[in-house]
Amino acid sequence: MDILSKVSPSTGPGSPRVVGFYEPVSGSCQYIAICEATRKAALIDVVLNFDAAAARTSTEHAEWALAYLEREGLELDWILDTHPHADHLMASAWLKERTGGPTAIGEKVRDIAGLWRDLYHMPDAFDPDVDFDRLFADGDTFRVGECEVKVMLSPGHTLGSITYVIGDAIFAHDTFMQPDAGTSRCDFPGGSARDLYASLTAILDHPDGHRIFIGHDYGTDSRDEPAWESTVAEQKASNKHMGGGTSEDEYVEIRETRDATLGLPTQMLHALQVNLRGGRLPEPEADGHSYFKIPANRF
C-alpha cells in the first residue's frame, strides 16, 4: 500500500523528529514522534483501517508505522491517543498486542464513556481504566526518550480531548485544522464551541515557531494535496476561523453555523464502541465473531 508520509525534522535538543502519515478514507493525520538522542518513539492517533460498508477492519497503516520503527532502529515508548475518535477506529489495542507498548489517553475519557453508555444503551460497557494503561490529567508530564511531553486538556471537539506538547511539536488533534480550512467541529455529544475557542487560544499561547500537527485534513477548493503541519505564527495570522484575533462570540457563531450543515462521520457509530474499549472490537459472541451495536434514531 502506498501511504503518503512526510518528515518534519527535529530543530535541536528536546525537539522530536515527526513523521506524519495520512489515511485518506477518514482524512486522518497520524504521527510518529522520535527522540533523536535516544531513538525512542511514540505513536500518536494511529488508525485501524475500516471499511464501513462491509464492517471490515484491517491494519495497513498500523503495520506501516511498525515497519518504519523497525527500519529506523527505533524503540517504542508510548502508544498515544488524543481522544476517542468519532471518525475512525483507533489501532492502539492492535499495536499493544504486537509491541507490548503502553497505551494512554486523557482521564476525561471516563466522562465520555458515560455519555456513550447511554447512547448505546450499554450500561455496563466501557472501562477506560482497564482498557488503557495510563489516563493523563491536565498538566501531567512524561517523556519520550529525553523529550519532555506536556499534557494539555483541550476540550471542545470532545469534552476530554488532550493535546501533547513534545518540545516544540504540538499534537493538536481535532482543534485546529490547516489555516486554510479553519478548525474542527464541536457538535458531537459533550462538544462545545466555547470550550474549543478556549482550547485554541491556549494552543496559540505557545511560541510562534512551535509546530502544530493536526488530526485531520480534507484539502480545500484550492488545495488537493493533504497537509498537516503549520506553526503557531501561521495559525495566528491566517487561520480561516481564528486568524487576526477573532473574538469568542464571533468564533462561536462561525463554528455553530458551520456545524449545523454537517452530517455525522460515516464511521462514528462503529468507532465509539471500539475506541472507548481502547481500540478493541466488541467481545466475540458464541459464534466467535464480534458484532457492532448501532443505535437507531438517536441522531
Where residue 221 falls among pLDDT bands split at 50, 70, 90?
A: confident
pLDDT in tens, 249-278: 999 999 999 999 999 999 999 999 999 999
Using one digit for the tens of pLDDT, what is the confidence trace for 30-74?
999 999 999 999 999 999 999 999 999 999 999 999 999 999 999
Q: What is the mean pLDDT of the chain?
A: 97
pLDDT in tens, 179-189: 999 999 999 99
For the record, the C-alpha cell of 209 comes out as 515557531
Give the separation between CA 243 and CA 136, rounded to whole angstroms: 30
Q: 5-274 has which fold? A: Metallo-beta-lactamase; Chain A (3.60.15)
Q: Is it the case that residue 1 has pLDDT exceeding 80?
A: no
Residue ranges per structural domain of the chain: 5-274
